[in-house]
Amino acid sequence: MHIRSAMLLAVALSFPGAAVAQMSRAALVKQSDIIFIGTVTQVGAVAVPEVPPSERTVVVRVDQVIEKPAPVALTAGDSVTVEAARAGSLKAGIQATFYTTGWIFGRGVAVREVGHEPGQSPVVAADAREAVARARALVNDADLKAHIQRAAMVVAGRVAQVRPAELAAAPTRPRRITEHDPDWQEAIIQVEDGIKGAQAGEQVVVRFPGSSDVAWVGTPKFAVGEEGTFLLHKDSTTGSPLTMIAGRSVPAYTALHKVDVLSKQDATRVRALIKKP
Amino acid sequence: MGARMIAVGVALCVACQEPERQMPPAKLAGGRVVDLIPLSLSGESWQDAEPFLALYASNPKLMAASAFTPNPGGSASATAPIFVSDDGGDSWTLRNTLPSQSMTADITHAVGGNPPMLYAGILKVPDFPLNELKANDFLSPATMTLQGFRVDIDQPFVRTSAVGNADRVYVGLNDFDAPDGRTATVDVSLDGGTTYASRRIETRNTAGQNGPSIRPAVAQDHTIYVAYFGWRSNAGADVTSDVVVVRDDSGAMGATPFRDLVDPSDHLPGRLVATGVTIPWSNAPTLGQERIGSTLAIAVDALHSDNVYLAWADRVGTGDIYTVHVRRSSDRGATWSSDLRTLTNATDASLAVSTNGTAGLLYQQVTGSASTSRWVTRLEQSRDGFATHQDVVLATVPATTPAFQFLPYIGDYNCLLTRGNQFLGIFSANNTPDSANFPQGVVYQRRVDFPTHRLLDGSGAPVAVSIDPFFFSVPVLP
């Protein structure tokens, strides 16, 4: 398996233009949300009437789906319309791993090519799947490392208290009533493991939107007793960067990205990424 | 509530007005309901709330629609989708053409001239600034072009009219940066969205701001009505508000537009259709898992601009949670009827007036209680100011499932339009494939199994019930 993987990695990646010729597989994966092994069946054609045919569109028969969002209905045997990154780059009959993003969703799926990777012929599905999974792990680690580097503080701990945030209103900006009001709350986190910028035993205050409004869907919410590893950023969102705890004025933090709230077990991974050059 | 029902057309059901009615509603000839989620997104289980619809007068096959539907690519996607149809609403595709991260936080849209232009007003993700957008061809996969941009805006509501080669665009919005707390505003563009001027329409003192709903309606003679809530005071969660209508008789071209309708009580622009109503402002599940507080709609007879209909919701205080009122003016807003319709525990009222003068009222109402409660979506039509009306049930679905993922649950608004001899609209509802839930019938594009009432993904595995947008068309009363 290792030899196969090494061979696969050694294969020259086929990219649509010189500007992207140096892209790594990880870079392809990072830009893609639908990845599949497929065989080009028609050039200058489309698989569904919703997409206008052009010299850049090809029809690809899906041989194996490697990654796709859960809502997308895509299985082996489906025909997908692919808009090639460059006209003429995809010839009928070639089999490749296609890195793509969703374009038009109707009776069928149309995607835009980010890149494609011709492997052995036929492509060994298990190898491609493993290679993509490894690339995805690299991408996820790189994203998380970037988040860690941007964070002012990284702690593992437990939410000891949740309270409404009392924000100092700017004198020229009265509080507005809107359905998108974030309804800022404060979670007081008891630090059990100070991974970056904090020490065990400290308490830190994290602001989060308590609102159920659509504008804040997907933003982490906190509950008393919740444990986790938290990537905390100095509050530059509410306009009120300080808060009070035990009678002291202290900086307030936020954790508004889904990556900012990880499981407690992820502390080990976070530490490893911090040490990783 | 004592309105006499009329039977119209073959097989037309006389649907009872009472929410607790036991007789199953019957099917209206020519009615059509279509779930917008396409086959290739059969695994979708998102809460596709707050739908909106745009129609092209020049080509009845073309339509655009939106909802709080995310880019299937995920939360990191740089664009958000709209739905488009090129076959009159029988089928829909999803295209990622909005410059907003995965989804919008508000969106409405309206059409322009040829080629099929589309104007949209969105609150962009992240940070939620207003983006006023344009697509020169809404069928194009290209990202829509940004024309106007600013922060501290709520509920952009887009309407258009065509004058020669230049589209006029009217975006009702709540502008928190407006002076003196008079936040009700219409962004007016007379040049196809190239430039916008923000026109303040509130002339009275407010409780610090107006309500979020600012709704324009445009007639063919370029009369423009705008309805808004004049918030006067608030105590706790209850806002005391006036319901106000302003009018401009010449397309809002002047420097001080929307001053052609004056209230006799204070001689200020803006007719006070109702004063001192109680708006229950609740940003939590309050009515069938839905929040309440901003239901407002206005429609003008496009060919006879004297005739205008208005709907809003408030709390009457007789045990209701939220009550929709419908009124009419036949003299350009100078005088208004009393309630033509009073609908308890209803929301998402939308109005349209067809070319033959028939008024359409779309609304969604909670019937029953607790675990047996249902969201019932109805279209009422009337030729006589709702002295009589035809009542069509488009959907009757459980109100307690699925559990809300966010608010709004089904929408702070939906949409009703008219073209030719059809009312066309869109609403969001529980998507269980059960024919009993859709008395007019229903067509799913996504994969379903009607006998078992199950949604299926691409591989045939069950998918959780969720909220989907549904397009509908119903023949206008002859």
**Assembly ipTM:** 0.92
What's the pLDDT at B453? 98
Tell me what the mean pLDDT of segment B308-337 comes to.
98
From chain B, the residues in CB contact with A108 under 8 A are: 39-40
| Type of residue at B183 | T
- pLDDT for the residue A170: 60
Q: Is A82's Cβ below 8 Å from some Cβ in B?
A: no
State pLDDT tens for residues B29-85: 889 999 999 999 999 999 999 999 999 988 899 999 999 999 999 888 999 999 999
**Is A24 a residue whose pLDDT tops 90?**
no
pLDDT given for residue B185 in this prediction: 98
| Residue A18: pLDDT band with limits 50, 70, 90 | very low
Give the whole-number percent of chain B exceeding pLDDT 70: 95
Share the mean pLDDT of chain A: 89
- For the cut 50, the answer to whether the pLDDT of residue B115 exceeds it is yes
Answer left, alpha or beta for residue A124, where phi above 0 means left and psi between -120 and 50 means alpha.
Answer: beta
Q: What is the pLDDT of residues A188-240, one digit of tens each?
A: 999 999 999 999 999 999 999 999 999 999 999 999 999 999 999 999 999 99
pLDDT digits (tens, 9 = 90+) for B365-402: 999 999 999 999 999 999 999 999 999 999 999 999 99
Give me the total of CB pairs closer than 8 Å, taking one residue from chain A and one from chain B.
132
Give the dihedral of Cα atoms A46, A47, A49, A54; nearest 10 deg: -10
Question: Reduced to 3 states, what is the DSSP secondary structure of residue A226?
Answer: coil
Domain ranges of chain B: 4-475
Q: Residue A206 CA to chain centroid, in angstroms?
A: 23
Q: Nearest CA of chain A to the CA of B404: how many Å?
A: 9
Task: State whether residue B73 sits within 8 Å of chain A by CB.
Answer: yes
Please tell me the predicted confidence (pLDDT) of residue A15: 44
Token couple for A233: 């950023």
Mean pLDDT of B79-98: 96
Closest residue by Cα to residue B94 from B77, B115, B113: B77
A130 in contact with B, Cβ within 8 Å: no
pLDDT in tens, B431-455: 999 999 999 999 999 999 999 999 9
Q: Smallest CA–CA separation between B382 and chain A, in Å?
A: 33
What is the CB neighbour count within 10 angstroms for residue B196?
Answer: 20
Q: Which two tokens stand for residue B167?
A: 């589209």
Average pLDDT over residues B328-336: 98
Residue pLDDT, tens place only, B163-214: 888 899 999 999 999 999 999 999 999 999 999 999 999 999 999 999 999 9
Residue A10 has pLDDT above 90, yes or no: no
Residue A28's pLDDT is 95
DSSP B142-206: SPPEEEEEESSEEEEEEEEEEETTEEEEEEEEEETTSGGG--EEEEEESSTTSS-EEEE---S--
Quote the minimal CA–CA distance from B331 to chain A in Å. 34
What value does the mean pLDDT of chain B take? Answer: 93
Least confident of A28-32, A170-174, B474-478: A170-174
Inter-chain CB proximity A101 and B181 less than 8 Å: no
Question: Any CB–CB contact under 8 A between A57 and chain B?
Answer: no
| Cβ neighbours of A215 in B, within 8 Å | 105, 123, 125, 128
- Confidence bin at B20 (pLDDT 50/70/90): very low
pLDDT tens figures, B254-305: 999 999 999 999 999 999 999 999 999 999 999 999 999 999 999 999 999 9
Q: What is the pLDDT of residue A124?
A: 81
Using a CB-CB cut-off of 8 Å, the residues of chain B touching A180 are 105-106, 123, 128, 154
pLDDT band with cut points at 50, 70 and 90 for residue B238: very high
Q: What is the pLDDT of residue B1?
A: 33
Record: contact A179-B291, CB cut-off 8 A:
yes
Per CB-CB distance under 8 Å, the chain B contacts of A75 are 458-459
- Chain B hits for A210, CB-CB cut-off 8 Å, are none
From CA A122, how far away is CA A116, in angstroms rounded? 14
Q: Is the pLDDT of residue A130 over 60?
A: yes
CATH for B4-475 is: 2.130.10.10
Query: Residue A123 pLDDT > 80, yes or no?
Result: no
Residue of B92, B406, B457 with shortest CB distance to A213 = B406
pLDDT for the residue A121: 66
Q: Any CB–CB contact under 8 A between A109 and chain B?
A: yes
Q: Does A73 touch chain B (CB under 8 A)?
A: yes
Inform me whether the C-beta atom of residue B45 falls under 8 Å from chain A C-beta atoms.
yes
| Residue A139 pLDDT level (bands cut at 50, 70, 90) | very high
pLDDT band of B12, cuts 50, 70, 90: very low
pLDDT band at A50 (very low <50, low <70, confident <90, very high): confident
What does the pLDDT average to over B226-240? 96
Shortest Cα–Cα distance, A82 to chain B (Å) = 14
Domains of chain A in start order, with CATH, are 2-144 (2.40.50.120), 151-168+181-275 (2.40.50.120)
Q: How confident is the model at residue A172 (pLDDT cuts 50, 70, 90)?
A: low
Q: Which residue in the block uniquely carries the two structure tokens 């995805």?
A: A136
A74 in reach of chain B (CB within 8 A): yes
Beta-sheet strands, E only, within A109-266: 109-117, 153-164, 184-196, 203-209, 227-234, 242-245, 248-254, 261-262
- Where residue B27 falls among pLDDT bands split at 50, 70, 90? confident
Q: At what angle do helices A125-150 and A2-10 cross, to 10 degrees?
A: 70
Of B72, B281, B447, the CB nearest to A105: B72
pLDDT at B6 over 50: no
Q: Is the pLDDT of residue B249 over 70?
A: yes
